[in-house]
Structure 1
Amino acid sequence: MTQGSQTGAREDGERPLRRDAALNRERILRAAREVFGQRGLGVTLDDIAHHAGVGVGTVYRRFPTKEALVGALFEQDLALRKASAERALAHPDPWEGLVDFLVEMSADLAENRGLHEVIMLGSHSSGPIETARQGMLPLLASLITRAQESGQLRTEITPSDIPVIQHMLSSASQFAQGTQPDIWRRYLEILLNGLKRRPDNIPLSTPSLGNPTVEHLMGLTRSVPPKA
């Protein structure tokens, strides 16, 4: 193999791939993003190979398991969501920062079914993905506390409400997929009106699920939390 037949180094520290192998890897990743995004993580590597226009053996040489492919795709996406939360925390207006974060996260989850399953359900998770998901919880708590301390967010809202809201919005998008997939924006507007603190707010009569229950439902903890 000549030096000219190689391309850039892999992120995981392995030797550089030949140009044709690197192109196949990128083709597989693009196809996987489209297929996972549209159909979720239930698809097979055979489905992805077909969509990419390569043999299934080519997929297995680059990604021996579906978990390896999921990790390659979604670890970066989770890092981008963390960066979004950090930007929201740096926003001079706590409410606007929270809104910006909710819009960005909702758009990602509504448009990418696979990402929704990784973040919300813990499907096909790896160590780095689990670490990234766990790292989002303190950021959510900080966003909520900051907006409440500014007097703009209702005091009853808890960090555990945010994943439930995101799941609701994603479900609305799935429901209207193929007709009006961005319908989640309408329902986010309705929810934001309910989240905003006002003198005439009617107190919420139903408690939140709470962090232990939501973490269990998201697959962040494996034991069933005790009932309140």
Structure 2
Amino acid sequence: MTTAPSSPRPLRADARRNRRRVLDAARVAFEEGGNDVQMEDIAKRAGVGVGTIYRHFPTKQALIDELTAEWMADGAAKAADALKEPDPWDGVVLFVRRSAEIMVRNRGLREVFGDVGQLFEDDARVQNHDLQDKVTALLDRAHAAGVLRPDVGVNEFRALMCGLAMAVTNTPPGAHQLYADVILKGLKT
């Protein structure tokens, strides 16, 4: 006779707090140092032992995946804000410019988004359908208004945004605005 697998027990309050401290410290560490950051550095920033990190995230990749999920959720929220813009083109502009601002400050995000093939494949480890849906709606709205090139769909837009992530790496202050402007000029009909 087999028994149904038990559902995981909810974390104790102190374990939840430690997990959040690890994620918050890791987010800052990866924003500054990208994938080169060491787990020991994250533990020190979080004020926990490295064993605490590994109890919550068995590998560094598991921690990166969790941060990627948070970054993508942030992107979905930014796309939702852009959809609130009454003018469809202004919504696209807002989303591209905000994305550029975030990418220039976040090395970890740039490294994740710089790998177009890995992040947006159907079998990617981390996916966010809300982000995909909102960006698609943003582009569809701009297409319907006739302000976005008809040959630019969500796949082309993602590739451009991933290219933007790589372009802003090691650039002089303010260069990200130039790159966003170039992308926007190319997107407009």
* TM-score normalised over the length of structure 2: 0.73
SS for the counterpart of 1:41 is helix
Name 2:162's counterpart in structure 1.
167
Paired amino acid for 2:70 = Q
Shift of 1:166: 1.6
Is 1:183 the equivalent of 2:175?
yes
Gap regions ≥5 residues in structure 2: 1-7
2:29/2:42 contact within 8 Å kept: yes
- Number of aligned pairs? 178
Question: Structure 1 residues 57, 175: CA separation in 2 closer, same or farther (over 3 Å shift)?
Answer: same
Aligned mates of 1:41, 1:193 — CA distance in 2:
32
* Structure 1 gap segments, 5+ residues each: 1-11, 198-228
- Once the two structures are overlaid, the 10-residue window that deviates more, 34-43 or 114-123, is 114-123
Could you tell me how far apart the structure 2 residues matched to 1:107 and 1:34 are? 16
Asked whether 1:130 is paired with 2:126, we answer yes
| TM-fit CA distance, 1:120 | 4.7
Question: Which is helix-richer, 1 or 2?
Answer: 2
Q: Which residue type is aligned with residue 175 of structure 2?
A: I
Structure 2: how far apart are the matches of 1:59 and 1:158?
Answer: 40
Name the CA distance, whole Å, in 2 between partners of 1:73 and 1:149: 34
Change over 3 Å in CA distance of 1:34–1:87 after alignment to 2: closer
Query: CA RMSD of the aligned region, Å?
Result: 3.1
On the 8 A contact 2:73/2:131 being kept in 1, the answer is no
**Higher RCO (CA < 8 A, seq sep 6+):** 2
Equivalent runs, 1:101-180 vs 2, <5 Å: 101-121=95-115, 122=118, 130-132=126-128, 134-176=129-171, 179-180=172-173
Q: Which amino acid aligns with 2:139?
A: I
Indicate conservation of the 8 Å contact 1:84/1:101, yes or no.
yes
Same amino acid, percent of matched pairs: 34
1:10-159 alignment to 2 at 5 Å? 14-18=10-14, 24-52=18-46, 54-121=48-115, 122=118, 130-132=126-128, 134-159=129-154
Please say if residues 88 and 142 of structure 2, whose CA atoms lie closer than 8 Å, have aligned partners that are also in contact.
yes
Indicate the structure (1 or 2) with the bigger Cα radius of gyration. Answer: 1
In structure 2, what is the Cα distance between the partners aligned to 1:183 and 1:37?
Answer: 18
Query: Normalized against structure 1, the TM-score is what?
Result: 0.63
After superposition, where does 1:209-220 map in structure 2 within 5 Å? none
